[in-house]
Homo-oligomer: A and B are copies of this chain.
Amino acid sequence: MNIESSILEEIFKDISFTKEERHLISSKFEKIQLQKGDTLLQENDVVYNQYYVFSGCLRTFFIDNSDKEHTVQFAIKDWWISDYTAFFTTTKAAMTIECIQEAIVYRISKKDVEDLYLKIPTIETLFRKKMEKGYAALQKRILASLSQSAKERYTSFISAYPNIEQSVKNYHIASYLGITTESLSRIRKELTHN
């Protein structure tokens, strides 16, 4: 068994498994400890795995043609992270994932998760629902970028990632919101004074 049995409760929440199923699932996961600054996934790596975040904080970023860095996602406890576009098709990552606060993640490969879908269909349902939430969150973010002010996007960010601010550098948050760090400071000041 590669991971502590109690972790399964955290990852799969409401699902109850038989003893054999617990063994099977545990054998598919690998525990990884990361230090601040470690790279979990590098742009151009072929993506075989996705990761459940047990503790700490990670950041996915993308570098555009003018070498500008864009923060695409943060992941904290109970989030899943990967370059999903590459993961689903087992192709090369367009993004990099780095650890920004000491973290423990549990890795599972595409092959293994698909094996679990076949053997334990409730897991496929869970992941189907997670995908739906992920899709909705991504679309909401696109619409927000079209219609919301930077201040509104900052407020949404704070409610989507509560308590994240102590783990994350200001320029990460600014690059996630698509604004400068100066604009971020101004927005924070405005919100404090209201």
Binding site for B on A (CB under 8 A): 62, 64-65, 70, 72, 84-85, 88-89, 94-95, 117, 121, 124-125, 127-128, 131-136, 138-143, 146-148
Contact = CB atoms under 8 A, between A and B. Distances in A.
Nearest to A70: B146
Of A125, A135, A138, which is in contact with the most chain B CB atoms at under 10 Å from its CB?
Answer: A135
Contact of A139 (B136, B138, B143): B138
Given A62-B146, A134-B135, A85 B124 contact: no
A143 B88 contact: no
A133 B70 contact: no
B132 A84 contact: yes
Contacts of A132: 84, 88, 131
Nearest to A132: B88
Contacts of A135: 84-85, 88, 131, 134-135, 138
Contacts of A64: 146-147
Number of copies: 2
Nearest to A114: B125
Contact of A85 (B84, B85, B95, B136): B136
Given A62-B146, A64-B147, A135-B135, 9 more contacts: A62-B147, A65-B148, A84-B135, A85-B136, A85-B139, A94-B143, A127-B128, A131-B135, A134-B135
A147 B139 CA distance: 19
A119 to B, nearest CB: 12
A50 B54 CA distance: 35
A81 B68 CA distance: 34
Listed from nearest, the 8 A-B pairs whose CB atoms lie closest are: A64-B147, A85-B136, A128-B128, A131-B131, A88-B132, A85-B139, A135-B135, A138-B138
A28 B39 CA distance: 47
